[in-house]
Structure 1
Amino acid sequence: MSYLDSELSLIHLRIEHPEQFTQPNQPTFVSELYIIPKSKDLGIIALAEIVVALFLSKKVFQRNGTPAYLNQIADVFQKMFNCSFGSIYDQQEKVFDRKPFNRTKALDFLKNLIIRKDKEDRNKQNEK
Structure 2
Amino acid sequence: MLKLQISHPVQFHSANKQLFKSTLFLIPKSENLGVMGMAEILTSLSLLEGINDNTGKNPDAIAFAETFEQAFGFGFNDIYDRQYDLFRRKPCNLTKTLDAMRTALMKEYKRRKSQRDKKENEKR
TM-score using structure 1 length: 0.76
* C-alpha distance after superposition, 1:55-91 (max 9, x if no partner): 1112111111111111101110000000000000010
Unaligned runs of 5+ in 1: 1-25
Q: Alpha carbon RMSD of aligned pairs, Å?
A: 1.4
Q: Specify the alignment match of 2:77 in structure 1.
A: 86
Residue 109 (str. 1) matches residue 72 (str. 2): no
Partner Cα distance (2:19, 2:63) in 1: 17
Partner Cα distance (1:95, 1:74) in 2: 14
Aligned residue identity for 1:89: Y
Count of aligned pairs between the two proteins: 103
Unaligned runs of 5+ in 2: 1-16, 120-124
Identity, % of aligned pairs? 33
Q: Which of 65, 77, 88 does residue 56 from structure 2 map onto?
A: 65
* Structure whose alpha-carbon radius of gyration is higher: 1
Structure 1 runs (4+) greater than 2 angstroms displaced: none
Residue 40 (str. 1) matches residue 31 (str. 2): yes
Q: Where do residues 3-42 of structure 1 align in structure 2 (5 Å cutoff)?
A: 28-42=19-33
